[in-house]
Amino acid sequence: MADSSFDIVSKVERQEVDNALNQASKEISQRYDFKGVGASIAWSGEKIEIRANSEERAKAVLDIFQSKLVKRGISLKALDSGEPQASGKEYKLFSSIQEGISQENAKKVAKIIRDEGPKGVKAQVQGDELRVSSKSRDALQEVIALLKAQDFDFALQFVNYR
């Protein structure tokens, strides 16, 4: 019997992020408390740029964007936001979307699977993802449950279950 396996990845659907950004932008343009304060949110290359006339307003725009991401099923662990920085008369805040599992994070996850997971489960790092395989599908289900119970500082998705 062949081994069953699945991949652990950290990917974000770019279109969903784009939709959340557009929804947040629309809400900012329509809300009364953002009228005439120059608040905006938009892509700036690969980063998301938030502008406002005060630090508090920039953080409020970020909060709106985060709520739109959550409604679209995107983990906030994938969003890496900085602090608002003064730039002339306005404040700018840059955020980026984290994708891929770093080597050290992949090793952390593999160690947890080795130490706490069921016997006979193998985990190997493949680029920016982790392949977990076992002869037993039940063991793979246990590994998924184990990893969902852990609190990592990065988002995990389980794909290619076969």
pLDDT digits (tens, 9 = 90+) for 47-91: 999 999 989 999 999 999 999 999 999 989 999 998 999 988 899
Q: In angstroms, how far is CA 161 from the centroid of its own chain?
A: 21
User: How high is the pLDDT of residue 45?
Assistant: 87
In this model, does residue 95 exceed pLDDT 90? yes
- Percent of the chain surpassing pLDDT 70: 99
Domains of the chain (ranges; CATH) run: 4-11+101-159 (3.30.70.860), 14-97 (3.30.70.990)
Q: Return d(Cα 3, Cα 151) in angstroms, integer.
A: 28
Q: Return d(Cα 121, Cα 139) in angstroms, integer.
A: 7
What's the pTM value of the predicted model, to 2 decimals?
Answer: 0.83
**Average pLDDT for 15-37:** 92
